[in-house]
Amino acid sequence: MAILLTDCGPGRRRRVHGMLKLYYGLNEEGKAAEEPESLDPCDINGPHFDPELYLNKLRRECSLAELMDQETCMVKQIRSLDSDMQTLVYENYNKFISATDTIRKMKNDFKKMEDEMDCLSANMAAITEFSASISGTLQDQHTQITKLSGVHTLLRKLQFLFELPARLNKCLELQAYAQAVSSHRRARCVLQQYSHLPSFKGIQDDCHAIMDKLAQELRQKFRDGGSSAKDLSECVELLLQLDEPAEELCDKFLSHARSRLESDLQGLEAEIRPYPSASAVKDASARRLSSTTGAGSLTNNSPKTNTLPSPTSNTDILEFIDRGCNEFVSSLCLVITSYQELFINHAQTGELASKNIPQMANAKLHVFVDDLAARYFSLVERRIQEEKGVGDNSLLVRALDRFHRRLQAVAKLLPGSTVPNKGTEIVIRAATERVKQYLSALQSFYMDSLTDVRQALATPRLSVAGASVAGGGSLLGGPASGRDAPTSLPELLSSLSASILNQIKSVLASVHLFTAKDITFSNKPYFKGEFCSQGVRESLVVSFIKFVCQSSRQFCESAGDKGGSTPPALLLLLSRLCLDYETSTISYILTLTDEQFLVQHHSPVTPVTTLCAEAREAAQKLLNHYVKVQGLIISQMLRKSVETRDWVNTIEPRNVRAVMKRVVEDTTSIDVQVGLLYEEGVRKAHSSDSSKRTFSVYSSSRQQARYAASYTPSAPMDTNLLSNIHKLFSERIDIFSSVEFNKVSVMTGIIKISLKTFLECVRLRTFGRYGLQQIQVDCHYLQMYLWRFVSDENLVHFLLDEIVGSSAHRCLDPAPMEQSVIEVICERG
């Protein structure tokens, strides 16, 4: 059997238990299943089972084989149940033994308890009998004792009333004010009720005189305010019990507290000094930012920024806020706490509870706190406005954080007060103003950088061809820096762009302090949303980018204004700077801003494409203006060379005029200058004899010899007609069209303006034979060199043909020079 028990697994035990539960009619929780009882006498599992009926039914309905099978099944079930029952007995043998021992022990314990309960019942019966005997014995004297006790109580009350004046005087001498007030309150109603009796009237008058004197001493103690908070609270409570007006007590307390708090405010106001004019502050700020900060250098990429000290000489902003918090705010919190303990939180009993003192006192406290807080906020804002330095922003942020953090104590002590919200508004205004200051400083830094670039461009050591850098100096270091400035346009552009970008990064790092996790007000919705999107992204970064584009476009103003004196190299450099902003810098700056400040574009913001389009427009305008300025410079030389010469009586040409050599030299210099900042561009294929091209005195479509031999007075009429017909079929040249962002397009625009000016000047003059020949020499010399600078050499050929043809039309004796002679003169020149 032991082996059988050992071999049975948990599955068999569960099956056995299930069968037993089914047999006894139990559910899974071990309770009897609530099923309707079966009334069928043939139901072998039902309570009304009848074996005889069951057997008769089986004999009638089943065959012999089925009866044998039924018997076999029933025998198996009986054996299985017997086996399961034995298994359960063996499994729970120890539990059965333990239960038997427990039942035996319980029988012994209950027998002992029954004996004790019988003894207790007997004792209670004896006590009840003895108590009834005593009550019967004393019943006769109970009434008499009650009367005597009432008389004794009355005598004690009368004795208390007659001794009350002396008792009150004694308490007054010992300064036991609470005991005196308590004694008087106990007797006041009785004295008032029997005041028509002379003896009681005298006691009442004496008590009133003593209590008036006591009230006077309490008022004096309250006014002095030198007592502890506990004594002061007791003093107020006693005055209220003496029917002192609660409103008057509140006013006196707040008046005394106001004098102390106003002295703290006066101390803070004394630290605020008169501030210089806004223009002086702005100049000083920009000067320090551009000359002393490491990030301000065009070659030093350090992001650190120098601190511009506040004009106040005594304390900085953090010390000022610390003093305000430690003195005024702390004192204000103590006043609020004491006031609330005295008039609001103190439990009122009796008549005081019906006077609604807490509501009245709370209203007065709110007015008091709001008034003084408004004055304190005014001083704080004045002091914050003095922080014009845009160097170290951490001091201001720490001060604002401390200011905001300490005001939260007021919010906890005085729920419903507007003080914390107004403090938050001050922080928001300070942050907004700080962003404006940084924008102004960036703008000043940019303009100062451009001024230094102009100075660097004006120095003789600047080589547009890309001379070597003497030292990695700072453009914004000032004359006393002792370091060489960048010596080429690419270095100037790189240094200017890097310094501006580093300055923006430095400003963003400083402004990011407002949203640091350890700053309490950074959790405010404004600093999580609007400050990042509208304050930093739009008002600072986007505004500065627009300022760069707008200020750069201002250099394109007409001559006589600001743009008239702008160096052409600066125009070229700014155009490349704006183009770089359009291609990459703007996207980088805005992406950096969005990532650093986690900008959520819930409110409308300026898209990157708009800023890039504005930067490209500025770059295009600057480059067009550069082409115009350089073209006009060369045109001015050509115009003066044509207008100051007597072309009718000039001598036979022997060399190329010096002005033409100067034009080629200047054009070459401009080509090198533009090539430093812009790519080459695309040219049309050049012919192999571009430098050997010859010019006709009338038109490039006619042969020179044809008209030289047959020139008659009617010939000009024919040549003019043929020239005009030729122009109809020539491609129109747009002189002042927009140029592309490459060197070839820029040089083409400059040469078009120059040659067009040359052509118009020639049309206004009259030429002799040698004057025409000199024009031939000059044009051939220009053709030898200028064709290589333009995108299409035919454009230069066409304009030079026009110049020679116009000279021939206006020549009194058109006798062209031999081409071989022209080539010799030009090669010799």
Span 26-62, pLDDT tens digits: 655 555 555 556 678 887 777 788 888 888 888 888 8
Select the more confidently predicted residue: 775 or 560: 775
Phi, psi dihedrals of residue 767, rounded to the nearest 5°? -120, 145
Share of the chain above pLDDT 90, in %: 13
**For the residues 354-377, what does the mean pLDDT come to?**
84
Residue 226 or 297, more confident: 226
Checking if the pLDDT of 507 tops 60, the result is yes
- Would you say residue 661 has pLDDT above 70? yes
Q: Which of 310-319, 350-359, 786-795 is predicted most confidently?
A: 786-795
- Would you say residue 180 has pLDDT above 80? no
609 token code pair: 């494409």
The pLDDT of residue 469 is 32
For residue 616, pLDDT beyond 90: yes
Asked if 587 and 608 count as a contact pair (C-beta separation under 8 A), the reply is: yes
pLDDT of 612 higher than 90: yes
Alpha-carbon torsion 295, 297, 302, 306, what sign?
Answer: negative
Site of tokens 């400035």: 485
Domain ranges of the chain: 417-457+488-632, 645-679+721-828
- pLDDT at residue 5, rounded to an integer: 38
What is the per-residue burial (b if ≥16 Cβ within 10 Å, else e) of 609-641?
eebbebbbebbbbbbbbbbbbbbbebbebbbeb
**Whether the predicted pLDDT of 537 surpasses 70:** yes
Q: In the predicted model, is pLDDT for residue 499 greater than 90?
A: yes
Residue of 412, 399, 425 whose CA lies nearest to 324: 399
Assess contact for 328 and 264: CB atoms under 8 A: yes
Angle at the Cα of 439 (from 436 to 441), degrees rounded to 5? 110
What is the arithmetic mean of pLDDT over 448-455? 90
Side chain identity at residue 448, one-letter code: D
pLDDT of amino acid 249 = 78
> Distance between CA 597 and CA 594 in Å, rounded?
5
Higher pLDDT, 171 or 767: 767
pLDDT tens by residue, 689-711: 545 455 544 343 333 333 333 32
For the CA atoms of 650, 651, 654, 659, what is the dihedral angle to 10 degrees? -20
Partners of residue 707 on adjacent β-strands: none
Token couple for 242: 């003496």
* Rounded mean pLDDT, 275-297: 45
pLDDT at 548: 92
* pLDDT (average), residues 203-212: 71
- Kindly state the average pLDDT of the residues 631-640: 90
Q: How many whole angstroms separate alpha carbon 741 and alpha carbon 724?
A: 34
- What is the number of helices (H) and of strands (E) in the chain? 29, 0
* Number of neighbours of residue 197 by Cβ within 10 angstroms: 12
Pick from 399-413, 473-487, 780-794 the range whose average pLDDT is largest: 399-413
Q: How many CB atoms lie within 10 A of CB 729?
A: 7
In this prediction, residue 574 carries a pLDDT of 92
Q: What angle do CA 397, 402, 405 make, to 5 degrees?
A: 120
What percentage of the chain reaches a pLDDT higher than 70?
69
Q: How confident is the model at residue 613, as a pLDDT?
A: 93
Q: How far apart are CA 591 and CA 585, in angstroms?
A: 10
The DSSP secondary-structure symbol of 46 reads S
Work out the pLDDT band at 341, boundaries 50, 70, 90.
confident
CB 614 within 8 A of CB 549: yes
767 forms beta bridges with 811
Torsion angles phi and psi, residue 136, rounded to 5: -65, -35
With H, G, I as helix, E, B as strand and everything else as coil, classify residue 712: coil
User: For residue 26, what are the β-bridge partners?
Assistant: 32
* Closest CA relative to residue 411, chosen from 422, 426, 399, 397: 422
Q: Assess contact for 740 and 681: CB atoms under 8 A.
A: yes
Task: Report the alpha-carbon angle 171-173-175, nearest 5.
Answer: 65
Tell me: pLDDT of 199 over 80. no
What is the band of 17 on the pLDDT scale with cuts at 50, 70, 90? low
Whose tokens are 């600093």? That residue is 527
CA–CA–CA angle 708, 710, 711 (5° rounding)? 70
- Are 215 and 242 in contact by the 8 Å Cβ rule? The answer is yes
Does the structure show a pLDDT above 60 at 561? no
Half-sphere exposure of 600 (CA within 13 A, CB side): 7
Locus of tokens 């005081």? 352
Q: Give the per-residue pLDDT at 729.
A: 43
The Cα–Cα gap between 37 and 46 comes to: 7
Per-residue pLDDT at 717: 38
**758 contacts 803 by C-beta, under 8 angstroms:** yes
How do residues 721-743 score in pLDDT, each as one tens digit? 545 555 544 455 666 677 888 88
Q: Where are the alpha helices (DSSP H) in 414-558?
A: 419-458, 489-512, 525-528, 530, 543-553
Please, which pLDDT band fits residue 11 given cuts at 50, 70 and 90? Answer: low
* Per-residue pLDDT at 308 exceeds 50: no
Contact 5, 87 (CB under 8 A): yes
Q: What is the DSSP letter of 563?
A: G
Indicate the SS3 state at residue 420: helix
Record the pTM.
Answer: 0.64
Query: In the prediction, which pLDDT does 358 show?
Result: 80
Query: What are the tens digits of pLDDT across the range 575-605?
Result: 999 999 999 999 999 989 888 887 766 678 8
Q: Which residue has the higher pLDDT, 684 or 764?
A: 764
Give the pLDDT of residue 14.
Answer: 61
Tell me what pLDDT residue 281 has: 44
Poorest-confidence range of 5-9, 215-219, 374-378, 747-751? 5-9
Asked whether the predicted pLDDT for residue 510 surpasses 60, the reply is yes
pLDDT band at 374 (very low <50, low <70, confident <90, very high): very high
Q: What is the mean pLDDT of residues 369-397?
A: 86
Instruction: Report d(CA 186, CA 207) in Å as an integer.
Output: 12
- Look at residue 446 in the predicted model and tell me its pLDDT: 92
Inter-residue contact 469 to 486 (CB < 8 Å)? yes
Mean pLDDT score of the chain: 76
Extract the tokens encoding 179: 């005991």
Q: In angstroms, rounded to a whole number, what is the distance separating the alpha carbons of residues 804 and 593?
A: 60
User: Which of 379-383, 684-688, 819-823 is the most confident on average?
Assistant: 379-383
Cα–Cα distance, 515 to 82 (Å, whole number):
82
Measured CA to CA in angstroms, residue 269 lies from 97, 226, 379, 380 at distances of 93, 27, 7, 9
449: nearest Cα among 616, 281, 277, 577: 577
Mean pLDDT over residues 1-11, rounded?
45
**Distance from chain centroid for Cα 166:** 73
Q: Is the pLDDT of residue 544 over 90?
A: yes
Check pLDDT > 60 for residue 256. yes
- For residue 527, the one-letter residue type is F
Using one digit for the tens of pLDDT, what is the confidence trace for 288-305?
Answer: 444 434 334 333 333 333
> Interior CA angle at 73 toward 68 and 77, to 5°?
145
Q: Looking at residues 733-762, what average pLDDT do you find?
A: 84
